């Protein structure tokens, strides 16, 4: 296998500044390109953050692929090139692409001008993890009772922690931060 291992997650930030009056056509285009990217091998998901830069709508898409080679396959595809040509008239500037080594963006990309204060990040993290830390052990308890060897200190804590981490990273945190974005981004 090439040096680009498919188990290495690659994250690409794509920023689009949308011309005034072009928001609806852009949103329609965005749905189509997200759907197209999902069909490519190695696609792991995309999160879209909506904001403003002056009077222009600013869309930041966080695109994840399993490996740089697979990401490059999507970026170099004829389908993406055609879609980028199509969106050009809707944008106030060329798209801004930034390859980022971090695997996940919960709150905001580090290049953003005003990341939320850490106390807000801590509040959101606490609000997501606390209920999971109370609920997840209860959900695992029937299995621990049925299989006592799995209910040992190390095995049970490993399963509980793994479950919480996966739920936080892949399910809850991306949704909660999108939902709370107006509060997180308010000065």
Say yes or no: 69 and 130 in one domain: no
- Whole-number Å distance between alpha carbons of 48 and 60: 6
- pLDDT, mean of residues 116-132: 89
For the stretch 70-103, pLDDT in tens is 989 999 999 999 999 999 999 998 888 887 654 4
Residue 1, domain member (yes or no): no
Say yes or no: 91 and 123 in one domain: no
Q: Residue 46 forms beta bridges with which residues? A: 63
Element (H, E) at 155: helix 153-166
For the stretch 28-37, pLDDT in tens is 999 999 999 9
Rounded (10°) angle between helices 78-87 and 23-38: 170
Element (H, E) at 162: helix 153-166
The pTM (predicted TM-score) of the whole model is 0.55
For the stretch 143-179, pLDDT in tens is 999 999 988 888 898 999 989 988 988 788 888 888 8
Among the candidates 100, 130, 160, a domain finishes at 100
Q: Which domain holds residue 39?
A: 9-100
> DSSP characters for 51-108?
EEETTEEEEEEEEEEESHHHHHHHHT-HHHHHHHHHHGGGBSS--EEEEES-S--SS-
Say yes or no: 87 and 124 in one domain: no
Say yes or no: 73 and 22 in one domain: yes
Say yes or no: 71 and 130 in one domain: no
Express the helix, strand and coil content of the chain in percent, nearest 5 each: 55, 20, 25
Say yes or no: 56 and 86 in one domain: yes
pLDDT for position 2 = 43
Say yes or no: 127 and 71 in one domain: no
């Amino acid at each position: 296998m090439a040096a680009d291992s498919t188990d290495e997650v690659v994250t690409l930030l794509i920023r689009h500044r949308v011309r005034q009056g072009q928001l609806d056509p852009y949103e329609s285009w965005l749905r189509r390109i997200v759907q197209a990217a999902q069909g490519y091998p190695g696609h792991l998901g995309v999160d879209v953050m909506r904001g403003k830069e002056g009077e222009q709508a600013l869309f930041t898409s966080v695109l994840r692929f399993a490996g740089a080679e697979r990401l490059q396959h999507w970026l170099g595809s004829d389908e993406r090139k055609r879609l980028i040509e199509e969106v050009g008239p809707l944008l106030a500037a060329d798209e801004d692409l930034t390859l980022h080594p971090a695997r996940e963006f919960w709150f905001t990309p580090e290049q953003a001008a005003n990341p939320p204060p850490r106390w807000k990040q801590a509040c959101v993290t606490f609000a997501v993890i606390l209920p999971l830390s109370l609920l997840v052990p209860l959900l695992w308890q029937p299995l621990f009772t049925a299989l006592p060897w799995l209910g040992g200190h190390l095995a049970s804590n490993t399963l509980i922690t793994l479950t919480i981490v996966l739920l936080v990273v892949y399910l809850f945190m991306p949704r909660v931060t999108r939902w709370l974005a107006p509060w997180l981004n308010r000065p």
